[in-house]
Amino acid sequence: MTRRILPFLALLLASGCASQRLAGADLDRVRRPAFISRIKDGAGPKSHVFREDSAYRNKLKKLEPVEADRRLTVKLLQAVTRFEISERLRVTTLSQLPREFPWTHVVDPAQVASVLESFLVEEVPANAPDYDLVASLGADSIVEFVIEDYGMRSDDGRAGAYLRGYGRMFTLDGRTEVWRRPFTMDHVAEGKAHLDPFKVGKDPSLFREAMTAMLDDVARLFVKDLTPTDRGGAPPARASAAGSDVVSGKAGAPAPEATKPPEDGLAPGELPDPDP
C-alpha cells in the first residue's frame, strides 16, 4: 500500500514547493487580464485502478486488469469531456472573483477562444497557445489554468478520482510570472469515500460528480490566491461583464464494439456489476 501511494504524495509535496504568491502590487499593475484554461495532451482521463490494485482480481475473474482499466477509461470519457473540465475550472474561478478591478475588465472569453481557434471544438488545445494572439485583444496579462493529469486510481480496494495541474499569471510584456499555484487533488490520499469503479462502469456520472467537486475546490483555492490582501492604489470597482455560465460539452465516444464473443462473459465494453 505504501509503495503505491508514495508517487501521489510526492506530487502533493512537490506542488507546495513551486508556489509563487501573488503580490498586491503586481495585481495593481494589471489592467486587462485574459483567462485561458486547457488540458495537456495525454493528461487523461486515465484509469490506474485494476492494474495497480490486486484487490479487484477475484471480481474481475477472466477479465484482464489492463482491459478492465481500458473499459473504465472509456466510461470516464463518457462521464465528462476534457472541454467541460477545463471550462468549469475557468468559469467557476472567474465567477467567484470579487467585482473589483482588474477582474471587472477581463477580456471576453469568447474572443479569447475565437483567436485561439478553440471556440467550437470539444478538445482543448494540447499545446501551449500563442499568447501574442491574445495580446491583440488588448490583454496585458494572462491567467492560465493547466490540467496535467486526471482520472481514477485505487489503493487496497478503495478507489477515487484524482486531479493534478497548476494555475499561473504572467504579463504579456516580458512574460514575467507573478503568480503560480500547482495543485494535486487525490480523493484516495485524502481519505474520501470509496468511488466504486464497478458502479462508475454502470453510472459514469459518479465520476463526473467527483471531478466537479475537485474542480470547485481548486477554483476556491485559486480565488483566494488571486485576491491578495496587500493591494494598494487599484482603480475603483466597476460592473463586471464576465459571464458565469458553465459550458456544457458532449459525451465522449462510446466503447468500441467487440470483434468476437468475449471470454469473460460480459457485454462488450462492460465491467462486472457492482456488489449488492
User: Based on the number of CB atoms within 10 Å of its own CB, is 125 exposed (0-12), middle (13-18) or buried (19 or more)?
Assistant: middle
Q: Taking the C-alpha atoms of 189, 191, 193 and 195 in order, what is their torsion angle to the nearest 10 degrees?
A: 10
**58 Cβ contact list (under 8 Å, min separation 6):** none
As a whole number of angstroms, the distance between CA 215 and CA 85 comes to 8
pLDDT tens across 56-111, in order? 999 999 999 999 999 999 999 999 999 999 999 999 999 999 999 999 999 999 99
Domain contains 240: no
Q: Taking the C-alpha atoms of 126, 118, 34 and 18 in order, what is their torsion angle to the nearest 10 degrees?
A: -10
As a whole number of angstroms, the distance between CA 27 and CA 38 comes to 23
Domain contains 111: yes
Domain contains 237: no
Domain contains 257: no
Give the chain's domain count.
1
Domain contains 274: no
**37 Cβ contact list (under 8 Å, min separation 6):** 86, 87, 89, 90, 124, 144, 145, 146
- How confident is residue 250, by pLDDT bands cut at 50, 70 and 90? very low
Domain interval for residue 89: 2-225
Residue pair 224/96 in contact by the 8 Å Cβ criterion: no
Domain contains 238: no
- How confident is residue 120, by pLDDT bands cut at 50, 70 and 90? very low
Domain contains 275: no
Q: Is the pTM of this model over 0.85?
A: no
Domain contains 234: no
